[in-house]
Structure 1
Amino acid sequence: MEIEDNGFIFSDDKQKIDVSAVHQYLSTESYWAKDIPLDIVQRSIENSLCFGIYKDKQQVGFARWITDKATFAYLADVYVKSEYRGNGLSKKLMSLMLFHKNLQGLRRYMLGTLDAHGLYAQFGFKAIEHPDRLMAVVVPDPYKKKD
């Protein structure tokens, strides 16, 4: 899938992804993957359904779905570079991703967010109905260098 809109290209082609740019954003600008090593970003891209936003062949946005393509998908690592925010790119990306052929007919789509609840609510996401049924193992600061 590749769509052009107002000079931006939205694509699910992993060959277009600038892994260094994605790593730079995630490791230095995101709150959820601070200090993530490059090799882990590479492995996460290899094993996910990924989407990029490009302007003049430069990576300006990214998102990936961790999915079995049959029953479940978890949305992760969503970003649009700050200088491109406010142009509706996140909304366009979400609308394209949710209609992707490999994400149809699933029984659950999930994500975690600190501050974008309003964006995701527009696409049907809501608070977990029974949070007491969910469990997790959380490793604090997994990428922090050990002394």
Structure 2
Amino acid sequence: MTTDRNAETVRTFLRLLEEKDIDTWTGLWAEDAEQVYPFGTTMFPPRLASRQVIGERWQGLPKMFQSLSFPIRELWTDGDTVIARFDGECVMQDGADYRNSYISVFHFTADGLISSYWEYFDPIVAGVAFGLAKVSYPQS
């Protein structure tokens, strides 16, 4: 069944990231795929277009982390769409924890390749963890 195949591809997508196998991971994408960060900033470009560009963007990921873990909390499937809620429980190269929560929307081609991927996460948590942003809260 197509929805089962697509859900399994989402599981494979996250497993390959955990294994830091970006070359195989890139093969899950359609040639004309797009990746979208709806809350994109200069830290995270709002849109990446094409398998090649997406793969190039993610090539540096293995060097940034000692370990990556993305436990799936929920998956919803409907036709060519899978919505995944998962956590990132990662350890950066300096030993610091990086934890974030994600909701991602995957769309698939008829052949089961990822045609689009929308990633929702807390960009403040990411920006602080990567040293790209500082957050301070007013004293009460």
TM-score (norm 2): 0.31
Which structure has the highest strand share of the two? Answer: 2
Larger relative contact order (CA 8 Å, sep ≥ 6): 2
